[in-house]
């Protein structure tokens, strides 16, 4: 059992004592807890509400949340990767069009802002949905060493990533990052967080 796990138990024991040099110790022995699974001297303190594992996981996730700088870097890098990927796909379609002697891209010749917006939204949707549902990370998140997790610190389900990705298309969603938390609407509504990845 780790020191953190034993402290969690000691905090709910009436025999606990705080030592300035050692932190929380046993009031009966004057030493740090060394038990492996259970403490024979444990007496529950009814005034202290035990902290659940879920609560601990939530606190750890919130403590590891990536800051606004990392989120901005992710956004800019992902936009760069989306632009490069769209250029590559457009070039490949052009090559295939020439090889097959067909005009696959003729529908793009006429200017249509609504069509162009829909195409870009679909492209962005698949970019984020595919990368985050498979690995929990976009290419930008690999560079910044961040990843998407649930509030409990687990890998999100495909359904959660779907909701997260759809929320990216809420109008003015980018402005939801202007606070100090670095948490946007697509994080809040899908109950996910972008956290620093452990080394």
Residue at 63 is within a domain: no
Q: Measure the CA–CA gap between 77 and 122, rounded to whole angstroms.
A: 19
Domain contains 59: no
Question: Between residues 47 and 43, which one has the greater pLDDT?
Answer: 43
Report the mean per-residue pLDDT for the chain. Answer: 84
Mean pLDDT computed over 43-56: 68
Give the mean pLDDT of 26-52: 78
Claim to verify: residue 45 and residue 92 sit in the same structural domain:
no
Cα-Cα end-to-end distance for the chain: 22
Domain that includes residue 25, residue range:
3-51
Say whether pLDDT at 108 is over 70. no
| pLDDT of 60 strictly over 70 | no
Residues 6+ apart with CB under 8 A from 179: none
Same domain, 174 and 118: yes
Q: 56 lies in a domain?
A: no
Residue 18 β-bridge partners = 24
pLDDT of residue 46: 77
Q: Are residues 75 and 34 in the same domain?
A: no
Q: Helices 68-99 and 113-135, interaxial angle, to 10°?
A: 110
Residue with tokens 């632009």: 83
Q: Distance (Å, rounded) from C-alpha 55 to C-alpha 127?
A: 33
The answer to whether residue 62 is domain-embedded is no
Give the percent of the chain with pLDDT over 90.
35
Q: Which residue has the higher pLDDT, 101 or 133?
A: 133
Task: Say whether both 88 and 32 belong to one domain.
Answer: no
For residue 167, give the 3-state DSSP assignment.
helix
User: Same domain for 79 and 145?
Assistant: yes
Q: Which of 6-15, 42-51, 130-139 shows the lowest per-residue confidence on average (mean pLDDT)?
A: 42-51
Whether 116 and 154 share a structural domain = yes
Asked if 75 and 164 sit in the same domain, the reply is yes
40-68 mean pLDDT: 72
Of the pLDDT bands very low, low, confident and very high (cuts 50, 70, 90), residue 112 is: confident
pLDDT at 92 over 90: no
- pLDDT of 130 strictly over 60: yes
Mean pLDDT of 77-105: 85
Q: Are residues 25 and 88 in the same domain?
A: no
Q: What percent of the chain clears pLDDT 70, i.e. is strictly above it?
A: 86
Q: Is the pLDDT of residue 116 over 60?
A: yes
186 burial via Cβ count (<10 Å: 0-12, 13-18, 19+): buried
What's the rounded mean pLDDT across residues 70-87? 93
Look at residue 50 in the predicted model and tell me its pLDDT.
57
Q: Which two tokens stand for residue 137?
A: 């990370």
- Are 42 and 131 part of one and the same domain? no
> Can you list the alpha helix ranges (DSSP code H) found in 64-151?
68-99, 113-135, 139-144
Specify the residue for token string 């030592």: 19
* 35 located within any domain: yes
Task: Give this prediction's pTM.
Answer: 0.68
* Shared-domain flag, residues 22 and 76: no
> Are both 189 and 121 inside the same structural domain?
yes
How many domains would you assign to the chain?
2
For residue 58, being part of any structural domain is answered with no
Instruction: Examine the domain organization and report whether 90 and 157 are in the same domain.
Output: yes
Confidence of residue 135 (pLDDT cuts 50, 70, 90): very high
136 domain-assigned: yes
In a domain, 157, yes or no: yes
Least confident of 20-24, 90-94, 99-103, 131-135: 99-103
């Amino acid at each position: 059992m780790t020191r953190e796990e034993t402290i969690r138990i000691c905090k709910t024991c009436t025999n606990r004592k705080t030592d300035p040099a050692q932190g929380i110790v046993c009031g009966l022995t004057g030493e740090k807890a060394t038990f492996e699974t259970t403490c024979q001297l444990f007496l529950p303190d009814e005034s202290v509400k035990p902290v659940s594992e879920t609560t601990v996981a939530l606190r750890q996730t919130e403590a590891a949340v990536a800051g606004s700088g990392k989120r901005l870097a992710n956004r800019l890098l992902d936009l760069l990767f989306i632009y490069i990927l769209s250029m590559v796909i457009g070039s490949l379609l052009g090559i295939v069009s020439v090889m097959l002697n067909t005009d696959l891209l003729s529908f793009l010749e006429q200017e249509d802002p609504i069509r162009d917006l829909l195409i870009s939204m679909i492209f962005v949707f698949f970019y984020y949905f595919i990368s985050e549902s498979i690995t929990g990370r976009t290419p930008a998140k690999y560079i910044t060493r961040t990843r998407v997790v649930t509030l409990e610190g687990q890998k999100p389900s495909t359904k959660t990533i779907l909701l997260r990705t759809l929320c990216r298309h809420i109008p003015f969603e980018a402005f939801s990052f202007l606070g100090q938390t670095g948490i946007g609407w697509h994080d809040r509504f899908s109950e996910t967080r972008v956290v620093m990845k452990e080394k």
